[in-house]
Amino acid sequence: MGGYPPLLRWLATAAAADWLIGRTLTRAAIFMPKAGPVLFTYQTLSVVGQVAMTTTGLLAHAGLLWVAWTLHRGSQRLLPVVIALLTLLNIAGLFTAPSAELGLAYHLLVLTGLLALAVHALKRSLGWSHSLAFVLPTGALIAGELYSAAAALPVALGRSGPSGMGLLFFNLGELLVVGSGLAFGGWLALRGPVRWTWLIAALPALAFALVFSVQPALTGVMAIWSVGLTLYLPWPLYALSLWACAAAALAGLRRRHPAGLAIPLLMAGGYAPQLSTHLALGLIALWLLSQGEGQLLTQEQGQPGAACSAAPTLGPGARPAARRSSTSVS
């Protein structure tokens, strides 16, 4: 992606490998008999997944610091401080277990960063489809953090039993996740003439529909392990959202648009992430989504029907906008 460091491309690659191999394929293989070549393949995938997880953790926090520095250069003050504090807390979590009070403070700090990022992003001149594609995943991350904070609050106060608001926040966030996929498709995948994008993107949605029709219970378990979704909504909504989201990711990658990295990062981070690494993926993805349309227009310039002029591409020196309770780093 023009104007962004290779670090973010490496991060998206490592995160996708961690998600698809470490949290999906190897966990799905738990239900398979392991003998001979199958056992060797499983062990190999496990090693690859562990390497991808470690690499993702290192690159994610390096990416957070790069975003903080970029925001600071863009005359932002609150967001860089929040991101830097989150990174320091994540690193400190490697050496000492956080207290219940610190865990609650961590979630409140994350919520502060998400709200500040949303306010800053929405001050930009974003089109309605772009705004919707930013607001829905941001709302999903906020709902996931509220769910985690609701779970951490009774522990911090020394009370027993979970908060009654936790399930409400979780279900609302999952609904926003499904809506985010549809919004991504309407924002990016419908804007270009590349029809094969939708055909290729239909493959994971068809695979999901097939597996769900055969083994709905197993599909539900794998969905929780892989992306943190419970599938409480009608399954066709998840299939349509996955189809549109995959089409948008392919369209973004083809056009070298920031969303081509942001969407895979969001999918790899999952919903209501348990690990700070996956939360870092979500924050970086939202920062990428908050960028303007300059890079997309630059790529589409000169195509039939394209605009005659394009907004300047944003680079690192431009003024950007930028699962549960745990502060450990993977």
Nearest alpha-carbon partner for 87 in 115, 109, 55, 70: 109
User: Where is pLDDT greater, at 260 or 161?
Assistant: 260
pLDDT at 3: 57
For residue 193, what pLDDT band results from cuts at 50, 70 and 90? Answer: low
Q: The pTM is what? A: 0.84
**Distance separating alpha carbons of residues 183 and 177, to the nearest angstrom:** 10
Q: For 108-119, how does the pLDDT look when each residue is reduced to its tens digit (9 = 90+)?
A: 999 999 999 998
Give the pLDDT confidence of 14-44 residue by residue, as tens digits: 999 999 998 998 888 777 776 778 788 888 8
